[in-house]
Amino acid sequence: MNEHRRLYPTRPQAQRALVVAVDTQDPQRPLAPELAEFTALADAAGAIIVDEVIQRLPHVDPATLVGSGKAREIAERAEAARADVLFVFNDLRPRQRTNLEKIVPLPIVDRTMLILDIFAQHARSREGQLQVELAQLRYRQSNLIGVGAALSRLGGGVGTRGPGETKLETDRRRIAQRVTLLQKQLDDVRRQRETRRGGRGRDPFVALVGYTNVGKSSLLNRLAGSGVNEGAFVADRPFATLDPTLRRAYVAPGVNVRLADTVGFITALPQELVNAFRATLEELENADLLLHVSDASNPDWPRQKASVETTLHELGLDAKPYLDVFNKVDRLDPAARAALPPGALEVSAATGVGIDMLRAAIAARRTAAAERLQ
């Protein structure tokens, strides 16, 4: 009799999202590739895109981002599409968020909130969770405190994972106390890292850097010879790796290196994330060599590569020795492969193509560095 009353696990229903973007037609940052990336982030967060509205303006409207007339159109389209959340590509100021919510009565999630939400979903270690919570609190402390309507409407769904609604609705003093506590805990993590670095031995330290979802974790696994269940976590989605992974890898007879997988970058990486993940990014500061990994199969790789270089410059790491590595060449036809930059290392973590050449290049850099020190 009880067999007909079994309980089965259920998944929360995916949110129906309407995407809004303002295109200021900046030739340095064309909207199309970044908007496509934004919708991929929304998909990774578990939302379903039901409609898209693009407003072309010379600059964003200071009051509502899109202009009052366009805001009313967005409200009508959101109702027609039965959307239950508004994803805004552009970062919002508190005033813009408040005014937009008066016209469009939906929870509003901007790009930074969306990225923070994905980080909250993927953080596995205690360190990663601390970093994500700190980033979320700092962002909301500087952008959302005092915007009561926005906070009261964030009752679950994309943009609300992590510290949660209860923390967000506390006053400034309590949030500041929480931020201070998290900073102290992450300082402890930093000191522990320094201690571990002191005992790592003399193997050169090589860090993989690159745009999100270019295959850094797969490449680390290939170089380290890790099996399916023992290597770095791999998934075809943005920001699958948040927690740094260290592996020892053979590169030449008598030469091994320590490899580190790091969090992927993205265009205009939110400053809150850069600050919060400082303890993790310090791994890059101690690297003897950086492998800048790009996705050769993505036609947008030049923009992504330039974005990573900008971030490395902002972190003061652009003077580090590095190798340009183009991954996923197995997905290219001969003409596209021939168009890659001359001198770049062409590899496929999936098939093993070019891995021996990459090992040799790392070993050559190691030998050259050793000779300079003599």
Vertex 203: Cα angle to 250 and 259 (nearest 5): 60
Vertex 201: Cα angle to 197 and 206 (nearest 5): 70
Q: Does the pLDDT of residue 112 top 50, yes or no? A: yes
Provide the pLDDT for residue 131: 82
More confident residue, 155 or 297: 297
Q: Extract the annotated binding site.
A: 210-217, 239-243, 261-264, 327-330
User: Beta 255-261 vs 245-252: how paired, if at all?
Assistant: antiparallel
Region 24-52 average pLDDT: 91
Q: Does the pLDDT of residue 271 top 80, yes or no? A: no
Ordered structural domains, the chain, with CATH: 16-167 (3.40.50.11060), 201-373 (3.40.50.300)
Q: Extract the annotated binding site for GTP.
A: 210-217, 239-243, 261-264, 327-330
Provide the pLDDT for residue 245: 76
Lowest mean pLDDT among 22-31, 82-91, 126-135, 192-201: 192-201
Q: Extract the annotated binding site for Mg(2+).
A: 217, 241
Dihedral over Cα of 144, 145, 150, 151: its sign: positive
| pLDDT tens digits, 222-261 | 999 864 444 554 555 556 555 667 889 999 998 899 998 8
pTM, entire model:
0.78
| pLDDT tens digits, 122-162 | 777 777 788 888 888 888 777 654 444 444 444 456 666 66
Q: Which of 226, 217, 318 is nearest to 264 (CA)?
A: 217
Q: Does the pLDDT of residue 68 top 80, yes or no? A: yes
Provide the pLDDT for residue 179: 87
Region 285-313 average pLDDT: 92
